[in-house]
């Protein structure tokens, strides 16, 4: 008897339960070496009664192992897919891929995106061409939304004048401000954190360099150490900071004049006492002069600007380096001269501030005047005075009145 060669070497015959999409079920025999694709063709022939209507029908279907919910690979055999006798396989038609959008659909989608975009300037002009013109003064709108820090300087300048007049009426005003003048003789820039200085010198840094680094880093030891390491090979590392010597010279002149002024205050002539008090105010303002951030000065001077320009820029922009750089590169408005102009004394804002009882009481306190003078030239010290129990309530009321008037 003749036996085909593939029958002799055929593997184990498996009886598999096939379930079709239309609910039909039947048994299909396959050997272990039968590929999944071959089994799928036979199953499709069973569904179509022996004929495949579409040659691509095989690729449009898949066999799934029901127990494990695995999709069987067409290139693998029953043995490789670990199919056992009496396993159940599902013949399922593959989901057709989404068709590519037509050109008309793409155009419609792009049109929809264009419709959702914000209009440009020309579109706004066309859409509003028929609307009546509204004569609105843009300068008034911008002024109404003033920045508190910008306006605070003008407010402080005007309040200082009022406080000077009020305090001049006090019998002990000359003595009080003579003492305040003496207290300001010691320049704050010369005060160094001895502990921080000792830490840096113990690390091996020279004292002069450590002092310079601490002043540049506002007495922060980690930042000072970082600066010293970065500038170790800088030939200008031992150069004094810009303007460092000038405060000490100004401070040295004051003690000799203060006793003479205090003695003049004891004069019986009230007019002379008021003149003496005015001189003390001037000296206090000179000692509370603007102190630029040394690190910002060096950075801006390295860009090619001279020291005077840099000092003006930092003074106008409250020691903010980035804003000062923009000022130097721009139209340089406002000018340093404009900083000495106070607020209009007849303005509703200034009148509201003067009518406040807390502000009225604070203007009679010499410490409030000193706080105003300090904040005027050193805006970064505002936080210190805001937290002070004597001057804090006054500054809080000024801020609240400004915000209220700004909103209305």
The Cα–Cα gap between 277 and 330 comes to: 41
Predicted pLDDT at 288? 52
What sign does the CA torsion over 379, 237, 310, 369 have? positive
Distance of CA 126 to the CA centre of its chain: 37
pTM of the model as a whole: 0.40
Predicted pLDDT at 286? 53
Query: In order of start, what are the domains of the chain with their CATH numbers?
Result: 13-93 (3.10.20.90), 148-172+342-406 (no CATH), 294-339 (1.10.8)
Tokens coding 308: 């005077």
* Nearest by Cα to 320 from 306, 300, 336: 300
Q: How many CB atoms lie within 10 A of CB 337?
A: 8
Phi, psi values for residue 69, rounded to 5°: 60, 35
Predicted pLDDT at 354? 92
Work out the widest C-alpha separation in the chain, in whole angstroms: 151
The Cα–Cα gap between 72 and 56 comes to: 18
Predicted pLDDT at 294? 78
The Cα–Cα gap between 29 and 139 comes to: 92
- pLDDT in tens for each of the 408 residues of the chain? 455 544 455 568 888 888 887 888 888 888 988 998 888 888 888 776 544 555 557 788 889 898 888 889 888 998 888 888 889 898 888 877 766 666 665 566 676 776 667 777 888 888 888 887 766 554 444 444 446 666 788 888 888 888 878 877 776 666 666 655 555 554 444 556 788 888 888 888 898 888 888 877 767 788 888 888 888 888 888 887 655 544 343 343 444 444 444 444 444 555 555 555 556 665 555 555 567 777 888 888 888 888 888 888 887 887 788 888 988 988 888 777 777 778 888 889 899 999 999 999 988 887 888 888 878 777 767 777 888 888 899 999 998 998 888 776
Predicted pLDDT at 394? 92
Tokens coding 50: 């022996």
């Amino acid at each position: 008897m003749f036996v085909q060669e593939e029958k002799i070497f055929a593997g184990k015959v498996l009886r598999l339960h096939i379930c079709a999409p239309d609910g039909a079920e039947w048994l299909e025999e396959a050997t272990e070496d039968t590929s999944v694709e071959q089994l799928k063709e036979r199953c499709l022939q069973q569904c179509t009664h022996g004929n495949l209507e579409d040659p691509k029908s095989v690729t449009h279907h898949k066999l799934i192992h029901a127990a494990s919910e695995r999709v069987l690979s067409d290139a693998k055999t029953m043995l490789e897919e670990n199919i056992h006798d009496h396993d159940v396989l599902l013949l399922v038609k593959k989901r057709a891929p989404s068709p590519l959008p037509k050109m008309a659909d793409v155009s419609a989608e792009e049109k929809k995106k264009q419709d959702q975009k914000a209009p440009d300037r020309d579109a706004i002009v066309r859409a509003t061409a028929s609307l009546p013109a509204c004569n609105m003064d843009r300068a008034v709108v911008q002024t109404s939304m003033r920045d508190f820090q910008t306006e605070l300087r003008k407010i402080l300048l005007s309040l200082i004048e009022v406080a000077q007049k009020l305090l001049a009426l006090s019998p002990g005003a000359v003595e009080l401000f003579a003492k305040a003048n003496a207290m300001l003789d010691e320049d704050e820039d010369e005060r160094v954190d001895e502990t921080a200085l000792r830490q840096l010198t113990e690390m091996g840094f020279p004292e002069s360099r450590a002092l310079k680094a601490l002043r540049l880093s506002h007495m922060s030891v980690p930042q000072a150490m970082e600066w010293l390491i970065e500038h170790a090979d800088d030939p200008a590392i031992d150069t004094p900071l810009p303007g460092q010597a000038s405060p000490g010279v100004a401070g040295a002149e004051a003690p000799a004049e203060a006793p003479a002024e205090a003695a003049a205050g004891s004069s019986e002539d009230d007019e002379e006492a008021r003149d003496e008090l005015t001189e003390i105010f001037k000296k206090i303002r000179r000692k509370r002069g603007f102190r630029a951030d040394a690190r910002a000065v060096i950075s801006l001077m390295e860009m090619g600007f001279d020291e005077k320009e840099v000092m003006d820029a930092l003074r106008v922009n409250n020691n903010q380096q980035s804003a000062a750089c923009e000022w130097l590169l721009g139209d340089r408005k406002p000018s340093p001269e404009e900083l000495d102009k106070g607020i209009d004394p007849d303005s509703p804002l200034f009148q509201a501030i003067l009518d406040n009882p807390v502000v009225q009481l604070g203007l009679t306190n010499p410490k409030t005047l000193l706080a105003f003078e300090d904040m005027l030239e050193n805006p970064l010290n505002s936080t210190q005075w805001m937290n002070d129990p004597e001057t804090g309530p006054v500054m809080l009321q000024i801020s609240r009145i400004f915000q209220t008037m700004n909103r209305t």
